Structure 1
Amino acid sequence: MSFSSMLMRFGLGLAALAGLMTSPARAQSDEPGCRPEMASLRLPVQRAALAKDEVRLTFVGHATFLIETPGGIRAATDYNDYVRPRETPDIATMNKAHSTHNSRNPDPAIKQVLPGWDSGGQGAAKHDVTLGDMRVRNVPTNIRSYSGATDYDGNSMFVFEIGDLCIAHLGHLHHPLEPGHLRALGRVDIVLFPVDGSYTLDQEGMVEVLKSLQAKVMIPMHFFGGSSLERFLRRTDGVWATERKAEPTITLAKAGLPAQPTIIVLPGN
């Protein structure tokens, strides 16, 4: 091999190495915008104590919220390996739609890891756990498989009961809710719902779901770049009031909920 050929191969090798070093890491998901850098949110460790009738919600990103109780119990929704709160939660709920909604390596310090599906394939998942002043239970839903088939009862919505407040996280909901789902959910004060309109239920269907739930606070999640969120808010203009918050954390109490159903937008994606 000539000396010039050796130099050419060496240069190509350096270029390839540089490309590997500078190319961004990608999440193992076919959803847009779900990359590990989303996990850059760092929550303050010290926060004001909650009154006995309050709950604190922080939108960590994508479909992950940190829910905190007056007793210090923390739950993370759709806990995954890319978007995580800084603090290790006591309870982690997951769904199996994509890798940005579940974790293969949950923190071993988590006391309760609750997948929204039965890993043994024996039907619907069944969870009803109480830890401190938080009760968490699931309501099974169907989910589309990668082949397009329906996996009946293959996923879950999760309900968090803290004092007098009832919070429902709809997860990766793919279909309208039937009367049986509504009965199982019960009264919902705060609902966390996806608005992308394509990977999950279409936006028209989601509006109908929200109307059926009649929650006083509705917090959108699972939107990409903000365009799907803005499209949803234009659709609901005149249907519900909308409040936009500057910070991703909000403290709520039963007595302080809005008189009329209100969409509250927390910054995130």
Structure 2
Amino acid sequence: MMLRHLLLPFAAIALLHFLSPMPAHAQDSARPISQCQAIAQSLPEVTFASFKPFSVLSVQGAASDEVKITFVGHSTFLIETPGGVSIATDYSGWYAPPETPDVVTMNKAHSSHYTLTPDPAIKHVLHGWGDDGEPADHDVVIADTYIRNVTTDIRSGGGMMEPDGNSIFIFEVAGLCIGHLGHLHHELDDSDYAEIGRLDVLMVPVDGGLTMGAESMSRVVTRLRSALILPMHRRGPPVTNFLQMFGDGFDKSFATEASVTVSMRSLPRKPLIYILQGV
């Protein structure tokens, strides 16, 4: 009986801690829990999390909630969420959305992927590289969107690899897992795939060599097995060189517009490589 009375206060404290609201920028001790991230129980096979913790229910959305994705130029897409959040990827200012986005992500491989003087009206500027000597580490909830990153290495001067110079940014919104590979310079390993988890929509560079060759990049795309694949960063070879890497297991289509609207309900059943206007 005495033991039960002693345990009751601890149980109450634990319950209050569980129900406390999550801060907008989570620290290591209270990170949001990804609905898309793989749990590396036995690599290369992975098990995906399916639970819905109290702290991130707001980013789940309904199956009919739609996200609009527009190709702006080069590696910049504009992602518009049901909650009104606008996000520009690999933002340099060279390819600017029609209105100032709420969030921009950047990578520093080339000046066409970042700017150190962004518009002060942009509320959230997320660098894909570390500014303090440590790898970039983003876990941010902004309205209905959870944004996180997985770092990869990039080629620097002389062909040497710079650790953690690029980030794959992942946007979890409306139940969707949307990934942007950035300026990916090497194939991913099992730990990378486990950290990334499920990606329903994938933005992939198809330049044929400035990032990776078409064959290497196609292996990454095949492994991720996203439902909707959006090519970007096309320089040099035609996009058909990339498409030729994929057999009958993938559909391919050229869009008549620069935008696509997607929801959990509208995701293609068979992986679709969809080339938006302007690519």
Same fold (TM over 0.5): yes
Structure 1 counterpart of 2:258, from 232, 248, 252 = 248
Matched, 1:119 2:131: yes
Structure 2 partner of 1:163: 174
Separation of aligned partners in 2, 1:231 and 1:154: 27
Asked if 2 retains the 8 angstrom alpha-carbon contact of 1:58 and 1:250, the reply is yes
Aligned-pair RMSD on alpha carbons?
1.6
Partner Cα distance (2:249, 2:104) in 1: 33
On the 8 A contact 1:192/1:221 being kept in 2, the answer is: yes
For 2:34, the equivalent position in structure 1 comes to: none
Alpha-carbon distance in structure 1 between the residues aligned to 2:93 and 2:72? 13
Q: Is the 8 A contact 1:220 1:263 kept in 2?
A: yes
Of all paired residues, the percent bearing the same amino acid is: 47
1:134 partner letter: T
Amino acid at match of 2:238: S
Q: Deviations over 1:195-215 (max 9, x none)?
A: 112110111111110111010
Per the alignment, do residues 112 and 52 of structure 1 end up closer, same or farther by CA in structure 2, a change over 3 Å counting? farther
Q: Against the structure 1 CA distance between its residues 237 and 52, is the aligned structure 2 distance closer, same or farther, given a 3 Å change threshold?
A: closer
CA drift of 1:81 comes to 2.5
Match in the other structure for 2:190: 179
**What does 1:16-165 align with in structure 2 at a 5 Å threshold?**
53-120=65-132, 122-165=133-176
Aligned to 1:205: 216
**Contact 1:195–1:203 (8 Å) recurs in 2:** yes
Larger Rg: 1
Q: In the TM superposition, what is the alpha-carbon distance from 1:52 to its structure 2 partner?
A: 5.9
Deviation at 1:231, TM superposition (A): 1.2
What is the rounded CA distance, in whole Å, between the counterparts of 2:255 and 2:203 in structure 1?
Answer: 15
Shift in Å, 1:236: 2.2
TM-score computed with the length of structure 1 as normaliser: 0.78
Query: Structure 1 residue 235: deviation in Å?
Result: 2.7
Distance 2:65 2:232 in 1: 25
Query: How many Å separate the matches in 2 of 1:260 and 1:156?
Result: 27
Answering whether residue 240 of structure 2 is matched by residue 218 of structure 1, we say no
Q: How far apart are the structure 1 equivalents of 2:230 and 2:131?
A: 29
Check the 8 A contact 1:76/1:92 in 2, yes or no.
yes
Once residues 247 and 258 of structure 2 are traced to their aligned partners in structure 1, the CA distance between those partners, rounded to angstroms, is 22
How far off its partner does 1:119 sit?
A: 2.1
Partners of 1:146 and 1:82 in 2: CA distance: 23
Counterparts of 2:250 and 2:165, CA distance in 1: 32
In 1, the alpha carbon distance for the partners of 2:180 and 2:251 equals 20
> Whole-Å Cα distance in 1 between the matches of residues 201 and 79 of structure 2?
12
**Aligned-pair distance for 1:239?**
4.1
- Structure 2: runs of 5 or more not aligned: 1-61
By how many angstroms is 1:232 displaced?
Answer: 1.0
In structure 1, stretches of 5+ residues that fail to align are 1-49
Distance 2:79 2:143 in 1: 13
Equivalent-residue separation in structure 2 for 1:266 and 1:143 (angstroms): 27
Q: Does the residue aligned with 2:265 lie in a helix, a strand or coil?
A: helix
Aligned with 2:158: secondary structure?
A: coil
Query: Aligned pair count?
Result: 218
CA deviation after TM superposition for structure 1 residue 218, in Å: 0.4
SS at match of 2:238: helix
